[in-house]
Structure 1
Amino acid sequence: MNAIDALAQLCPPPDDPPGPIDWGAVETVLGMRLPADYKRLAAVYGPGDFADFISICHPHGYTEYSNLTGRMPGIVREYVQQDYDQGEAPVPCHPQHLFSMGGIGNGEKLFWITDPLDAPDTWRIAGSEDRGLRWFTFDGTLSEFLVSVLSRETAVSQGPVGFAPAVPGPWVPVNVRTRPPVDTESIREWGRAQGYDVPFRGRVPLVVLEAWERAHPL
């Protein structure tokens, strides 16, 4: 039995399947490929929460906090980078290899360790606890992590086992500092100079935007 089937036994997915996902467009925006396991998970469950405690970001997330291609993953990485630079938290790897894709409690975060970047099906899971003061890692896929937690093999505080689909609501912007508008062509030129593969038209990949923002702090 694969992890998705095992998860479905623990937490039956919604009766109404979520809408189709354009994974090519999603991965273009992010500037990286995603694990096949995550794609199956997102296609079966859609946006929502497991055990009323574990939230997984989704390409169709209804808020900027839950949308996989929104600003939140980059903002979280910036906060982790600050902790890493100041030696305030035992981050398990360099923050450039962390991509925030969920939450496991009151402000606690769940990450992929995206190393190597071009082998997403080998990525491990990392999580911060106690608001970043403690970290854990899990050697497996996101679905395997969820099965392990919901079957009580891995200890993470949680509510009753189950899945609750997210409810659409008004888009709530992330409340963070903003920077003045920047010409995207300048970012493209900077990205190419740094060795990134940046298309000449369309959206600038998220990985390039995040790198530019780290190199040009507010």
Structure 2
Amino acid sequence: MSTPLDRLTDLCPPPAPVQPPVDWAGVEAALGTRLPQDYRQFTAAYDPGRLADFFWVHDPRHTSVHVRLAGPAADRIRAQMRSDHARGICPSPVDPELLLPCGGTDNGEVLFWIADPRAGPDAWQVAVNEARGPRWFVFDGGLTRFLVAVLSGTTEVPQFPKGLAADGVGFEPSRLDQWCPPLPEPSPPVDSAQIRAWARANGYDVPPRGRIGVAVRDAWERAHRD
């Protein structure tokens, strides 16, 4: 019976790995959590690099802060999620403390593991946050299964370009000292009072306090998007 990794390597064959193996005990100690088995298998099959000229998966071996699994970039993203959630601006679908960045796209979307249950990483789901926007997508499965579903065209993520895999997919390995995709810029803080005032001026019914509804936030984002 084929595994999700078997299907992924059929879709997107990797070259023979040349980078050193991962010190998983050290990585998991630094993160304070065990990691999914499918992710361990993914890093054994694929060096750091890019899938389908679009996805990059965080790797413990990479020297770039942008794509290293643990480091300042991941900490910055998590801090942004906590701030947004507390302000009611583009809040995550789960407690932001459960979000662990695991990858991203060239368009600026961020991929997260939903680390719940904490002690059962093989049951973690994958969440996608829109680049500089409010939309979230949650995939009921692990990272490798998610990549297979998107690259095979069986799952469409609203935040991703349509026909992403229409022209075929491939894997581009990177040199650890060269490849450095840009870190998405943090979303600027927005006063929720501004959103409420705009909503009332445009015919939306919003409460004076508490969480602002998703439909209102979406409408505000569309109205203020460049």
Q: 1:168 aligns with which of 166, 170, 176?
A: 176
2:31 matches 1:30: yes
User: Does structure 2 conserve the Cα–Cα contact (< 8 Å) formed by 1:50 and 1:163?
Assistant: yes
Q: Distance in 1 between matches of 2:57 and 2:103?
A: 4
- 1:27 maps to a residue whose letter is E
* Contact 1:101–1:112 under 8 Å retained in 2: yes
Report the Cα offset of residue 46 of structure 1. Answer: 1.7
Identity %: 42
Q: Which residue of 2 aligns with 1:68?
A: 69
Higher Rg = 2
Q: How does 1:108-187 map to 2 (within 5 A)?
A: 108-155=109-156, 156-157=160-161, 158=164, 160-169=168-177
Cα distance in structure 1, aligned partners of 2:14 and 2:36: 20
Relative to the length of structure 2, the TM-score reads 0.72
Structure 2: distance between partners of 1:37 and 1:89:
30
Q: Which amino acid aligns with 1:149?
A: V
Secondary structure of 2:94 counterpart: coil
8 Å contact kept, 1:64–1:171: no
Return the offset for 1:43. 1.1
CA distance in 2, matches of 1:65, 1:145: 21
The answer (yes or no) to whether the contact 2:129–2:135 under 8 Å persists in 1 is yes
Deviation at 1:16, TM superposition (A): 3.6
| Paired residues, number | 176
The 3-state SS of whatever aligns with 2:77 is: helix
2 CA distance for matches of 1:154 and 1:18? 31
Q: Which runs of 5+ in 2 are unaligned?
A: 186-226
Q: Report if aligned partners of 2:81, 2:96 keep a CA contact under 8 Å in 1.
A: yes
Partners in 2 of 1:31 and 1:102 — Cα distance? 18
Instruction: State the secondary structure of the residue aligned to 2:107.
Output: coil
CA drift of 1:103 comes to: 0.4
- What is the rounded CA distance, in whole Å, between the counterparts of 1:5 and 1:102 in structure 2? 20
Unmatched segments (≥5 aa) in structure 1:
177-218
Q: Which runs of structure 1 show a deviation greater than 4 angstroms over 4 or more consecutive aligned residues? A: none
Q: Secondary structure of the equivalent of 1:93? A: coil
Match of 2:92, SS? coil
Q: 1:162 to 1:32 in 2, by over 3 A?
A: same
